[in-house]
Structure 1
Amino acid sequence: MSGEADGRQAELAANLARVEERITRACVTAGREPKDVTLVVVTKTYPADDVRRLARLGVRQVAENRDQEAAPKAAACADLPLAWHFVGQLQTNKARSVVRYADFVHSVDRTRLVTALSAAAEREGRRIGCLVQVALDRGSGAAGQRGGVEPDAVGELADAIASSPGVWPAGVMTVAPLSGPYAGRPRAAFERLREISTRLRADHPAATMVSAGMSGDLEEAVAAGATHVRIGSAVLGVRPGLR
């Protein structure tokens, strides 16, 4: 590797170590085992070369939020032992592309999307884990600003996933709300997600994933029972254009 590449590898290694230490400390504080929390590194806006560097450092779970970027990046890294997570809002017309590389879709929030993912997964001979995105940023009856379904609708959507071929209900996901009753209270939001997850598992025992927490609030997510934290900037640095 060139000196510049060596420098980037070292930078990522140091960042990754700091994040892993944060997760470990949060788990100790919460009385949890670090092995029960999975780090998913969000590589959006960063090149496939960085994905390769992360893989050399032992990262196995990576995420993207735009199919236009994710599809070619996943293809360029197809030889790596990675699980790909799609975490952004997803249009139904992108479902066929996404199921070609994604192992999990965290942002399932409507039955039309379930139908599209199911049909696409069937065509590709794949089985995709679907997480129901839960909106916690509005009052009852209003759609979330960041997508998602109301808590009371989670079970119905999970039932639709369970009854569709090519997909399965893997769990729930949320983003810390910027508005509504949980604004500025990420831990309370994540604890609400855990309650929803517990209720969901009564009907769908395999739906064990609780996807919550990002670079700024991973400790609150771990304390509230998250099984997967989605970390971007704390590992990869401030995204290009945001410096």
Structure 2
Amino acid sequence: MITTAPAAPGARCLICLHPLRTEEAHRTACDRCGHRIRAWLRELHRQLPLLTASLSRDTAPAQGRPGGRAHAPLPVREDVLSLLGPAAPGTVRDTRGDQSGPAPALAVIHAWAERLAEARDKRLPPYRPGHDYTRYLAAHLPYALTRDWIADLHTELAELIGRIRAITRTTPQRRPQPAPCPSCQSFGLVAEDWQPYTECTTCGLLLTRAEYSDHHARVMPGLYRMGLRLTLARHTTTEPTP
């Protein structure tokens, strides 16, 4: 369980701008934003095969107009092809801004893995075809959460995952949970696809799925009984006297 403990004086998350808790004072981003980044990295690893499956066009090529020249379109979707473009296996960067359009997904992931390795003064593991470096970023995310570029990483991953979801049609759903928050007692708990935590939208509490399940089992029977008593009492007071 991650609670909203007292914040370190003046320290704020560079991503959400909320005050950092005392135990987060050595970081530049809070736990909640860190867990969101970790969930995106896990999702990206799973989304890439779905993106590959979306490469083929849904419709047949259009026919040429009479009297004109027929220009057959590419047999694949250009937006997907752009996202699936190869990442440079070396240390090539677009320092002159020559990249036109969004960068390929693997290039974005590789570039951030490279930046993380440089910050740690380590050598990035050798590039292998099909290796997307999401697990490398996830493994060293605690260190990344202490860097001043963490907000840029968050922004680029958010944009990348948004582009991929629009193609694979896998926008995550947010589902309100019936149990009240164990911290603030509000009915603001929500579970979201791909996210490992159930989050309270009122106070920011994060519960693992197991923690929420235990909490639900403890409090919901009593709430059901209370609701039943209130319903019976209402019907009793409103029932006309014979």
Normalised-by-shorter TM-score class: under 0.3
- Point out the structure with the larger strand share: 1
- TM-score, scaled to structure 2: 0.25
- If you compute each CA radius of gyration, which structure gives the higher value, 1 or 2? 2
